[in-house]
């Protein structure tokens, strides 16, 4: 049995909602809370499969974690050197963040571990973390293709490195900084373009000094983390579905509450604004080291744009739904410099181009992006390729379709946005969830 969405065409989105907690911040809260000294209390944590995979991994390494109940966790940190050897492989499901960050954290442990994942995660490239970690003295083994399962051999002595990342990746940066906690000397990572900086911010919140010098981020090994209280904002990557939905459906007005608006994540706001969207950032405030705001969005006619390449890493997870915005815009939208999209939970360039073409849109995939000409969306059956964000993006597309949109293989929406269909229905999307044999 697989889960399908059947979304009737038309309608508008109206109301106020708080979408679930930020996935990136939730992973880091569990990881850093686990290796901190003392108790870490977390509010607003994302209770979705990806984060639960991280949580389960730390439980397997002996960390006592109470919850999640209503978004609350109490993590009894075991200290930097207090993790125990897991007695079985750590299964990380669909979660690239769990796997890549754990490679760094586990490289510095005295014990061996094995990291596995589902079919999608087992296809994703891991050399981007294993190569620089080896330069630090870590010992890791992947398949000959550089994919999971990954065996991490403990008991190695790590040395800090000065690493210039060939790709703009927060996961690679974070893996190296986590390994750097266990390395001798300083670890520096230089990013080719700014990427999400939640690891750096949260390390500081745990009392660990992190330095930034232009595009370089560094820390010294050997320090300790001190348990703290964390408040996870709503995930702007989940809010993005409603930012686009309200922008494309006439008569819509939505208020998205308590959304994380860290400037390394707000590319979606900038891109939508350039397309003509009406988005207001209200009540901007700081919550536990991260900027948070309420986002008010109302329908506005969109126009196609050439998306500036420097915005790509700042909106990397939002392109599936941004392609839907492009399909509903007047004229052509051109995305370049986004080859990383081919390496996400699915090949998001291919999957989105295919689905848009099925719905009657002129969408031309390129090696590093897509050219989308706005037009009329018909209806039809599209395949999410088991990718949560593709599934949700096409559900939103139905707001502007002429006929029903059926989306195949939507169970993985639970990896990042449990309750998506209910929340979307509450706002006005005519979405039904069915099981198909």
Q: Is 171 in the site for ligand S3P (CB under 6 A)?
A: yes
DSSP 159: B
| Residue in 235, 317, 383, 409 annotated catalytic | 317
Answer yes or no: 317 catalytic. Answer: yes
**Three-class DSSP category at 102:** helix
**Three-class DSSP category at 300:** coil
Name the residue whose CB lies closest to ligand S3P: 24
> In the sheet where 216-220 sits, what is the strand order?
162-164, 186-190, 216-220, 211-213
Q: Is 170 in the site for ligand S3P (CB under 6 A)?
A: yes
**Three-class DSSP category at 17:** strand
User: In terms of CB distance, is 51 or 246 closer to ligand S3P?
Assistant: 51
User: In terms of CB distance, is 35 or 398 closer to ligand S3P?
Assistant: 35
- Could you give the CA distance from residue 218 to residue 355 in angstroms, rounded to a whole number? 42
Which range, of 165-173, 218-226, 290-298, 299-307, touches ligand S3P by CB under 6 A? 165-173
User: In terms of CB distance, is 19 or 431 closer to ligand S3P?
Assistant: 19
| Alpha-carbon distance values, 34 to 74, 187, 238, 272 (Å) | 10, 21, 26, 37
Q: Is 176 in the site for ligand S3P (CB under 6 A)?
A: no
Q: Is 316 in the site for ligand S3P (CB under 6 A)?
A: yes
User: In terms of CB distance, is 27 or 373 closer to ligand S3P?
Assistant: 27
Q: Is 412 in the site for ligand S3P (CB under 6 A)?
A: no
- Minimum CB separation of residue 368 from ligand S3P in Å reads 14
- Minimum CB separation of residue 196 from ligand S3P in Å reads 6
The answer to whether 30 touches 74, Cβ cutoff 8 Å, is no
- Minimum CB separation of residue 317 from ligand S3P in Å reads 5
- Minimum CB separation of residue 195 from ligand S3P in Å reads 6
Both tokens of residue 224? 């300790």
Q: Count CB-CB contacts under 10 A for residue 382.
A: 26
Residue from the set 231, 317, 318, 406 that interacts with ligand S3P by CB under 6 A: 317
Residue from the set 54, 109, 169, 262 that interacts with ligand S3P by CB under 6 A: 169
Tell how strand 162-164 and strand 211-213 pair up: unpaired
Q: Is 97 in the site for ligand S3P (CB under 6 A)?
A: yes
User: In terms of CB distance, is 300 or 393 closer to ligand S3P?
Assistant: 393
**Three-class DSSP category at 388:** helix
Both tokens of residue 219? 């820390």
Cis peptide bond N-terminal to 284, omega within 30: no
Beta bridge partners of 260: 292
Interacting residues toward ligand S3P by CB under 6 A:
24, 97, 169-171, 174, 195-196, 316-317, 340
Catalytic residue annotation: 317
């Amino acid at each position: 049995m697989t889960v399908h969405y059947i979304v009737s065409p038309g309608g508008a989105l109206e109301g106020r909602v708080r979408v679930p907690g930020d996935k990136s911040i939730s992973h880091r809260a569990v990881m850093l809370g686990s290796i901190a000294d003392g108790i870490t209390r977390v509010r607003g944590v994302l209770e979705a499969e990806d984060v639960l995979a991280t949580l389960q991994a730390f439980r397997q390494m002996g960390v006592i974690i109470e919850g999640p109940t209503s978004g609350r966790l109490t993590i009894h940190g075991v200290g930097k050197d207090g993790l125990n050897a897991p007695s079985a492989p750590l299964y990380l499901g669909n979660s690239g963040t769990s796997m890549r960050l754990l490679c760094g954290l586990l490289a510095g442990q005295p014990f061996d571990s094995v990291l596995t994942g589902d079919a999608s995660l087992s296809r994703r490239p891991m050399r981007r973390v294993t190569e620089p970690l080896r330069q630090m003295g870590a010992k890791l083994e992947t398949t000959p293709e550089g994919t999971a399962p990954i065996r991490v051999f403990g008991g190695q002595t790590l040395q800090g490195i000065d690493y210039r990342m060939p790709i703009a990746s927060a996961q690679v940066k974070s893996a190296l900084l986590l390994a750097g906690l266990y390395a001798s000397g300083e670890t520096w990572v230089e990013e080719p373009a700014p990427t999400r900086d939640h690891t750096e911010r949260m390390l500081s919140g745990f009392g660990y000094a992190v330095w930034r010098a232009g595009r370089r981020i560094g820390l010294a090994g050997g320090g300790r983390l001190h348990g703290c209280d964390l408040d996870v904002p709503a995930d702007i990557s989940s809010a993005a579905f409603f930012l686009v939905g309200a922008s494309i459906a006439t008569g819509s007005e939505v208020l998205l509450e308590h959304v994380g608006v860290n400037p390394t994540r707000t590319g979606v706001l900038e891109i939508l604004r350039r397309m003509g969207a009406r988005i207001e950032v209200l009540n901007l405030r700081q919550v536990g080291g991260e900027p948070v705001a309420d986002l008010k969005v109302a329908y506005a006619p969109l126009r196609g744009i050439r998306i500036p390449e420097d915005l790509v890493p700042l909106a990397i997870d939002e392109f599936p739904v941004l392609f839907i915005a492009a399909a509903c815009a007047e004229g052509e939208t051109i995305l370049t410099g986004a080859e990383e999209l081919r390496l996400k939970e699915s090949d998001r360039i291919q999957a989105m181009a295919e689905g848009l073409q099925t719905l009657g849109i002129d969408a031309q995939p390129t090696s590093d992006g897509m050219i989308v000409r706005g037009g009329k969306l018909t209806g039809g059956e599209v395949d999410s390729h088991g990718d949560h964000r593709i599934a949700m993006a096409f559900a939103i597309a139905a707001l502007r379709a002429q006929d029903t949109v059926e989306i195949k293989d939507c169970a993985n929406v639970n990896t990042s946005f449990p309750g998506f269909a209910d929340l979307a229905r509450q706002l006005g999307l005519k979405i039904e969830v069915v099981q198909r044999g």
